[in-house]
Copies of this chain bind each other. A is one copy, B any other.
Amino acid sequence: MATIQHPYLMFLGDVPDQLAAKTAQGIVHWRRDWCAGQLRLDGAKADLKLPDMTVDEAAEAGVKTVIVGVANRGGRISESWIPVLVRALEKGMDLASGLHRRLSDVPALREAAAAHGRQLFDVRHPARDFEVATGVKRPGKRLLAVGTDCSVGKMYTTLACEREMRRRGMKADFRATGQTGIFIAGDGVSIDAVVADFISGAVEWLSPANDPDHWDLVEGQGSLFHPSFAGVSLGLLHGAQPDVLVMCHEPTRRHMRGLPDRALPDLADCMEANIAAARLTNPDVRCVGFSINTASLDDRAAGEYLASVEDRFGMPAVDPFRNGAGPIVDAIV
């Protein structure tokens, strides 16, 4: 995939509620400078607190790409969106979408893109072939965020580490493996959409050889303990060859995401299983700390929980949303 060019116009369509704009909100949170404005059709029920713009105003403002950053049932591209998206192509902008249905499967968009020499990015669908992984260790340092479950803050954690490392003047790049992350990075691989044989190979491609003091901060996916997706998590782990792991967890979650009858693993079991598996491609891997999503806890309960994890494991435990990733980066350097 070529890099998605910014500035972005965040297209929200007729989004039914704020939750359906979660991807768009994540992009604004991490890349506010890239987001020139938002475009909402009649009836849109979300607000990113960006200037509202028409397509023509966005073109005037130098926008390069319109981001379709909304979720809807079935991942469809609504008929009502198409005239606006066609207009964006006519005005010289690219389109990028995280929906399941491809922009390139909509004839009007495909034709307008071809006519105006614009690109359509369907970030959920890998746009290139990958090689089978070699497992051969490559230069550069790598951090991988792993987790007890899906959606426990792995992307947030790696982005917080990138921000903290860059603040300290370290060489660091976030490597995106999911759709929101790809919009935030401008490129990446939607790893769960890769053909099974090439999971690890795609990660080797995503995080290539680099300077010995350069850190790739690789976004994890799923969990070795999630029976639906553990194969993806293991392939990602082997391809990333992480030097350090950060274990991500949401302490109030009652069951594995999507599976009401399945409990989360114990933190220690999860850490040990990830380290054991990661040793296959990097025998020197170590866990440096815990990243806890305490959004459902009040300040005091959050502080107590973090302290209890630090006591138990003798490693830093942070909520990067509350406090940043400083102690994690301290433990690495």
Contact = CB atoms under 8 A, between A and B. Distances in A.
Interface stretch (A68-76, A101-109, A190-198, A290-298): A190-198
A231 B231 contact: yes
B231 A196 contact: yes
A105 to B, nearest CB: 15
A36 B198 CA distance: 37
Given A135-B262, A193-B195, A196-B192, A235 B231 contact: yes
Given A192-B197, A193-B195, A197-B192, A228 B262 contact: no
Contacts of A236: 231
Contact of A228 (B134, B225, B227, B273): B134
A19 to B, nearest CB: 21
12 contacts: A133-B227, A134-B227, A134-B228, A135-B262, A192-B196, A194-B196, A197-B228, A197-B229, A200-B231, A227-B280, A230-B234, A234-B234
Interface of A: 132-136, 191-197, 199-201, 224-225, 227-236, 238, 258-259, 261-262, 273, 276-277, 280-281
A172 B225 CA distance: 30
A200 B136 contact: no
B196 A228 contact: no
Contacts of A228: 132-135, 197, 200-201
Contacts of A258: 132
A227 B200 contact: yes
Nearest to A194: B196
B235 A196 contact: yes
Given A227-B281, A230-B277, A231-B235, 10 more contacts: A133-B228, A134-B227, A193-B196, A196-B196, A197-B232, A199-B231, A200-B228, A230-B235, A231-B234, A273-B276
Nearest to A256: B135
B193 A194 contact: no
Contacts of A273: 276
B197 A227 contact: no
A203 to B, nearest CB: 10
Contacts of A192: 195-197
Contacts of A224: 234
A68 to B, nearest CB: 21
Given A195-B194, A196-B199, A232 B231 contact: yes
Given A133-B227, A227-B281, A231-B231, A197 B201 contact: no
A129 to B, nearest CB: 11
Contacts of A232: 196-197, 199, 231, 235
Nearest to A241: B227
Nearest to A265: B280
A201 B227 CA distance: 9
A261 B135 CA distance: 10
Contact of A191 (B196, B201, B235, B276): B196
A227 to B, nearest CB: 3
Contacts of A197: 192-193, 228-229, 232
Nearest to A232: B196
Contacts of A234: 224, 230-231, 234
